[in-house]
Structure 1
Amino acid sequence: MSGSGGHIRLRLTCVCLALALLAYVGLTQWALGHTLFREHPGGSAGSLPLAANSHPEDASKSINDRMLFFNRVPKSGSEMLVLLLQWLQGQNTFRHIRLRNSVRRYLSHGEQLDLAAEIGEKIFESAEPRLSFDRHVYFTNFSTLGLKMPVYLNLIRDPVEKAASRFYYSRVTPRPGAVTPAGYHLPAPPRFSTLEECVAAHDPECVFISGQKYDLSIPYFCGHEEYCRELNNKAALNTAKRHVEHWYPVVGILEDINSTLAVLQDRLPSFFDGVLELYYNQLLAPHHNRNRHRPRVSEEVEQIFRKNLTTEYEFYDFIRQRLSLQYQTIKLPEG
């Protein structure tokens, strides 16, 4: 009898814990909604209101066009674009906000709620009619949280150049100022000083293997699901393309920064009006944030990486073609 009674007590405890968890989740959702959905006192950027329809097919009704979210792909010229946003915010009457960063770019559902709550706090505090945000983070579908989506923006670069940039940057700045999540362990100090040495030794830092998980470009457009980080996963590639078409009016290419800025000025004038003039007057070179001491990638290593980064190049070519078509529709002023 005592064993049976203990079993009953254990089941009751589990039920109580389950009910408590459901109550917590419900309270968290309510608190988040209360924070995000209050009317802004100035009637400006306001809130991330409830999405009437969270399906991408009806994206125009699910987007808050007064909010821009730059979920930056690392080592792709993102600091340059952030600098331009900071310079433009005054003349275009918006406020740019740098969100808290983290060494881990993929988030649990709870961490996605925290991200939305942080954005909501900034919205409520701000009096500007429009807001832009930036953070290194994978694509977050706010509509699955019952919220309207921001206008997404990103910038990518040639996958080989990106890999090389990250390799050499890590030897100068192993871990730029970012919050370290609980349980995260810093990687061991780098063993090799050149990319060629690293590749020749088949070191894990420089080897890309299909099916393994990497922090490359596609996850920033695919999302937080495990498969999004799997190299050469076709489902991840297709999801990333679909998200670009529905949520990203512009995805730029670092190697074609002139077309990128022209398309940004044309497609997102509320934030980027005047960006071409500002860029040419203030920044002297397209690769403003380039590591000028970085060695060139050898032809042998480039061929190895191109062979292994198949879907990354498919995605890069897709974005490049899309940007080119967008640029062709623009009528730029003469001179």
Structure 2
Amino acid sequence: MGLLRVMMPPKLQLLALLAFAVAMFFLENQIQKLEESRGKLERAIARHEVREIEQRHAQDGLRERESSSAADGDDDLVIIYNRVPKTASTSFTNIAYDLCGKNHFHVLHINTTKNNPVMSIQDQVRFVKNVTEWKEMKPAFYHGHVSFLDFAKFGVKRKPIYINVIRDPIERLVSYYYFLRFGDDYRPGLRRRKQGDKKTFDECVAAGGSDCAPEKLWLQIPFFCGHYSECWIVGSQWALEQAKYNLVNEYLLVGVTEELEDFVMMLEAALPQFFRGATELYKTGKKSHLRKTSEKKPPTKESIAKLQQSSIWKMENEFYEFALEQFQFVRAHAVREKDGELYVLAQNFFYEKIYPKN
């Protein structure tokens, strides 16, 4: 190469160097393409191997189910929706009722005396026994105004899947306040407990009434905290922390009323056995937005500011913000927006390097 530099004019040397650089670039590019092709081939072989394994497992599973009626599987799945009052829970539950026939699962309403969310110890045992052993009702979707119940304490091997929806605490309280006085469009003829009381929420706050007191905000925390005495002590920091712990450790998904459609979409993606068709039904179905509180008037800024001075509101709002942040985190990794519409992400993992080879 040194001899060539002596013999060749400078222009030809430059051209030779450029030609060499282009050749090297082309060669590297071809090598990279070969590497990419090899990677694609390896992934295709891995996916083919996974399909073969899945097919064998499916055939083995079918034989096992045919030989043993006690085999566990999707038919044994139970979902519990311990719904918080006035969080659009009826609207969501109606979707489950509309889908249960087509998707082949049972829906059961947990109706407690006087809507008491805390069960006696004997009823806890009965309920756990029913949920886990009532095979004729499986797969099942249970719903009711019941606080969280830890099935692990009862020695259950396969716990149910918990889901829930929560709402901005002041908006929830305002909705409940007017619901007790005027009902809703779901059962308009039903007489409510406070029927005849025409006092607005703002008037109640100004007068320091008990129905709009900050203590009435204390509901979503104890519903998630559960069947412990401390959960129902208004303003308990321990209850707040326990509610947060249960939300992230015991619940598959917790949505918010303000973004209910996204909650429905993610449930359909995660649990299609139950919620296949739920998103379309929510958008177009007659029952999806059925229940609306009558005569509800939004509170003034003054009423809101007065409630927000309370430490109870601060705790309930902290829990709501915690749930909202977790929900948005889950959503960011589950769906994408395109042209104003949300789309569920396709499977983003696969298996490779499966050994031993058959």
Same fold (TM over 0.5): yes
What's the CA shift for 1:249? Answer: 1.0
Match status 1:142 vs 2:162: no
Equivalent residue, structure 1, for 2:334: 330
Contact 1:259 1:324 in 2 (8 A): no
CA RMSD of aligned residues (A): 3.2
- Cα pair distance change 1:288/1:158, threshold 3 Å: farther
Structure 1 CA distance, aligned partners of 2:70 and 2:144? Answer: 25
List aligned pairs for 1:100-115, cutoff 5 A.
Answer: 100-102=111-113, 103-115=115-127
Shift of residue 146, structure 1, vs aligned partner:
1.6
Q: Does 1:206 align with 2:206?
A: no
Q: Which moved more, 1:91-100 or 1:80-89?
A: 91-100
Instruction: Please list the CA deviations of residues 68-96 of structure 1 after superposition, one character each: whole Å capped at 9, or x if unmatched.
Output: 00111011010011101111223322111
Distance of 1:261 and 1:310 partners within structure 2:
28
The 5 Å alignment of 1:89-100 reads 89-100=100-111
The one of 223, 232, 249 equivalent to 1:220 is 223
Larger Rg: 2
Aligned to 1:250: 253
Partner of 1:321: 325
Q: Deviations over 1:44-66 (max 9, x none)?
A: 889xxxxxxxxxxxxxxxxx971
Structure 1 match to 2:273: 270
User: Displacement of 1:293 after TM fit?
Assistant: 2.5
Match of 2:241 among 238, 242, 254: 238
Q: Which residue of 1 aligns with 2:172?
A: 162
Could you tell me how far 1:118 is from its partner in structure 2? 4.2
Structure 2: how far apart are the matches of 1:72 and 1:45? 27
In 1, the alpha carbon distance for the partners of 2:72 and 2:286 equals 30
Name the residue aligned to 1:133. Answer: 142
In the superposition, relative to structure 1, how do residues 100 and 120 fare at CA in structure 2: closer, same or farther (>3 Å)? farther
Q: Deviation at 1:135?
A: 1.1
TM-score, normalised via structure 1 length? 0.70
Structure 1 residue 153 corresponds to structure 2 residue 163 = yes
Match for 2:292: what amino acid? R
Per-residue CA distance 1:219-278 (angstroms, 9 max, x = gap) = 111012222123332211110111111111111111111221222122322222221111
Matched, 1:298 2:280: no
| Aligned-partner residue type, residue 101 of structure 1 | T
Higher helix share: 2
Letter in 1 for 2:325: Q
Aligned residue for 1:68? 79
Q: Which whole-Å CA distance do the structure 1 matches of 2:332 and 2:165 have between them?
A: 19
2:84, 2:166 within 8 Å by CA — same for their partners in 1? Answer: yes
8 Å CA contact retained: 2:225, 2:240: yes
What CA distance in whole angstroms lies between the structure 2 residues aligned with 1:188 and 1:280?
33
Runs of 4+ in 1 over 3 A off after TM superposition: 41-46, 117-121, 186-192, 331-335
Q: Which amino acid aligns with 2:150?
A: N
Preserved contact between residue 164 and residue 255 of structure 2 (Cα < 8 Å): yes
- Secondary structure of 1:249's counterpart equals strand
Aligned length: 263
Alpha-carbon deviation of 1:167?
A: 0.6
Q: Is the 8 A contact 1:262 1:327 kept in 2?
A: no
1:303-334, Cα deviation, whole Å (9 max, x unpaired): 22233211111111111111111111124597
* Contact residue 108 and residue 224 of structure 1 kept, 8 A: no
User: What's the secondary structure of 2:334's corresponding residue?
Assistant: coil
Unaligned runs of 5+ in 2: 1-67, 342-358
Residue 149 of structure 2 contacts residue 226 of structure 2 at CA under 8 Å; is this kept in 1? yes
TM-score by length of 2: 0.65
Deviation at 1:298, TM superposition (A): 1.3
Amino acid at match of 1:77: A
Structure 1 contact 214–230 (Cα < 8 Å) conserved? no
Unpaired runs of at least 5, structure 1: 1-40, 47-63, 178-185
